[in-house]
Amino acid sequence: MTSQLSRHLQSRQVHPSTVKRVTTVWGGDHGGDAFQFGATVKVHFNDGTEPFEFEMSACEIVCRTDCAELLEKTIVDGLTLGLEKIAESKLNIFLDEEKKIQCSYGEKPVTIQDENIKILNKVFMYLTGDLAFFAMALGRESMSGHWCFLCKMCRSLFSKLDQHAEMWTMAELLKVADEVNGGKAKFGVKKKAWWPFIPLENYMIPLLHVLIGLGNDLLDSFLDWVNEELECLDNQEILTKRAIRTAEHKIIDATAERDAWLGSAAGKKLKSLEGMVRYRKNKLRELGAIVKSVQDARQSGIDSPLDTNEMLQDFEHFVDCDFDDDLNGMSADDEEPMDGSLFTVEIDPSMSDDLKAKIVSCHEEAKAAERESAALLEAKKIHTDRLKKTRAFLADMKGAMKGFRSVRKNQLKASSQSS
């Protein structure tokens, strides 16, 4: 940040003594197959000069979806070092020996005279982003729809405007995170916040999302008024319409929770195990077909049309290589769920003992992977079942709406005929 700040100040021929304060607003968001993190820097002056601001990009990760684990393994540590330095160090703005503006953190450069330097004891720092990003930064991933990030109010109380909840402080969040210590979440807190040096009151409310939420509420209220006053729908149909809107919102939340789990360490572990089982089952199934054709040829007294030795050598190469190489680029749509039954290989007696042992080992590895994945499959099933049930409920409600419309259509038709 210091290099870009120096360049902007130099281009405006600003004297360091006129700088009053520097404010930074940092934020992260995912969009366009990438997560981006950057800041808006604003400089204020004490001589009546109009403030100016500029934007800067700190980092970018190309990814299909973002999650706390991905960000923690890639950029969080580096960002923490930089942000903490900005938040807790003095900022020196001074003229060097060539009368060019320079910026640095820490102690005052000893060669710079007092009239040529401005020392800011603090750079004002704020954080912005959507609610999902706030939840990740505060150690509360996937909890944004269930707990307020500013106060201790839970989702069931969101609609009760007469309720007053105690406000969180960063110190309290860190204390709860210590109590949780990797265990069951408490007040939506799962682990420590990334940047405890940024006060919680400096987390800026995402106005865009608030306005979208208010807009949705206004639209829903307007549609309810249309249903009741203009279309004159009966109460059952109005309730069904509301249920459809609720289900659509719940599907969005459930999908986000499922995707967050799939992107977690447990989800990635399950995907790796499923890949191992699928790859080895396919190869074992392929070898089983080879064995059968060789045995049939021997029993009939004719030569096998297959080059068995070459195929067995290929398989021997397979059991020696890493299956992950063949999984690169495989999408979720290519995956098949485990069926719990491994292919049983009938080993050709002509195989070498070494190859037989490798085939048995490969078979056992696949079985072990299936056993290891059982608990992970149950965890995944919780998220997928919730999503399936909500989608099934939505389908039922839409079917009911078709029934209501059909009844109304028949009533209008009968009314027009009678008149």
**pLDDT for residue 308:** 41
**pLDDT for residue 211:** 74
Is residue 381 within 8 Å of 261, Cβ to Cβ? Answer: no
CB contact set of 393 (below 8 Å; sequence gap of 6+): 243, 247
For the chain, the domains span 2-129, 206-419
**pLDDT for residue 346:** 60
In angstroms and rounded to an integer, the radius of gyration of the C-alpha atoms of the chain is 32
- HEC readout, the chain: CHHHHHHHHHHCCCCHHHEEEEEEEEEEEECCCEEEEEEEEEEEECCCCCCEEEEEEEEEEECCCCCHHHHHHHCHHHHHHHHHHHHHCCEEEEECCCCCEEEEECCCCCCCCHHHEEEECCCEEEEEECHHHHHHHCCCCCCCCCECCCECCEHHHCCCCCCCCCECCHHHHHHHHHHHCCCCCECCECCCCCCCCCCHHHECCCHHHHHHHHHHHHHHHHHHHHHHHHCCCCHHHHHHHHHHHHHHHHHHHHHHHHHHHHCCHHHHHHHHHHHHHHHHHHHHHHHHHHHHHHHHHHHHCCCCCCCHHHHHHHHHHHHHCCHHHHCCCCCHHHCCCCCCCCCCCCCCCCCCHHHHHHHHHHHHHHHHHHHHHHHHHHHHHHHHHHHHHHHHHHHHHHHHHHHHHHHHHHHHHHHHHHC
**pLDDT for residue 145:** 75
Calpha distance 416→419 (Å, rounded): 5
| Model confidence pLDDT, tens digit, residues 282-311 | 776 666 544 343 444 445 544 444 344 444
Q: What is the mean pLDDT of each run of 10 residues along the chain (419 residues)?
A: 92 91 91 88 91 92 84 92 92 90 88 89 90 88 81 78 81 91 84 92 81 74 72 75 82 82 84 84 62 44 44 43 40 43 54 72 80 87 88 87 80 72
Calpha distance 408→40 (Å, rounded): 56
> What angle is formed at CA 244 by the lines to CA 378 and CA 219, rounded to 5 degrees?
130
**pLDDT for residue 337:** 46
Calpha distance 52→257 (Å, rounded): 40
| Model confidence pLDDT, tens digit, residues 121-146 | 989 999 998 888 888 999 988 887 78
**pLDDT for residue 45:** 93
CB contact set of 130 (below 8 Å; sequence gap of 6+): 29, 206, 209
Q: Of 338, 410, 325, which is closest to residue 368 (Cα–Cα)?
A: 338
Q: Of 244, 210, 181, which is closest to residue 401 (Cα–Cα)?
A: 244
